Amino acid sequence: MAAALRGYVRVEVFLSVLVVAVLFVLGPMLAMRPSPRQAQLARLRASATANGLRVRIDAVGTRAGYADYVLPWSIEDHHTAQRASGLAFEREEGGAWRAAPAGAAAGPMPGQVPQDLPAGVVTLRASAEGLVARWNEKGREADVARIATALRALGSTLAERR
């Protein structure tokens, strides 16, 4: 009986050591997995790239929980880019758009601001890089496509006003 008990203790010690070893191997691997939010952001940003957008993250936007989704100017858009500089709109509480103080000189142009934008888009503006939508990234890949479509429509509207 004592021999059987010693054998049982050896198996128990072996299993305990094995479990600890497995935890030491799996623990760091599980800690490196992205959180669900990080995985969602990666999907949104990959969708942005697929839709021809660039995602720019700056310190101010990051602290506020926003990222800039940029539709870059094409070579043909050189004149449109110059004319659109300073153009900026902010979304009001009710969802209506108004010219932002920085873009007040440009003034609101009828039909210029696309209405089919996700609720989390808070500003639209023209920069040297392109047309920019500041978004809280709370949505789906379909929302990224809506942003891309709206920015293209805004770019077309600006190009037509030449």
44 and 123 part of one domain: yes
In this predicted structure, what is the pLDDT of residue 110?
43
DSSP readout, 17-76? HHHHHHHHHHHHHHHTSPPHHHHHHHHHHHHHHHTT-EEE--HHHHHHT-EEEEEEPPGG
Are 135 and 119 contacting, i.e. CB atoms less than 8 angstroms apart? Answer: no
Predicted TM-score of the model (pTM): 0.76
Range of the domain at 90: 36-160
| Residue 43 sits in the same domain as residue 11 | no
Tens-of-pLDDT digits for all 162 residues of the chain?
556 556 666 778 888 888 888 888 888 877 788 889 999 999 999 999 999 999 999 888 778 899 999 999 987 777 667 767 778 888 888 888 888 776 555 544 545 677 789 989 999 998 889 999 999 999 999 999 999 999 999 888 887 765
My answer on whether 110 and 135 are in the same domain is yes
Task: Please tell me whether residues 22 and 85 are part of one structural domain.
Answer: no
Residue 131 shares a structural domain with residue 142: yes
- Asked whether residue 10 falls in the same domain as residue 64, the answer is no
Q: Indicate whether 27 and 102 sit together in one domain.
A: no
Are 28 and 42 contained in the same domain?
Answer: no
What total number of domains does the chain contain? 2
Do 41 and 13 belong together in one domain?
Answer: no
Residues 22 and 91 in one domain: no
Q: How far apart are CA 83 and CA 119, in angstroms?
A: 27
Same domain, 23 and 41: no
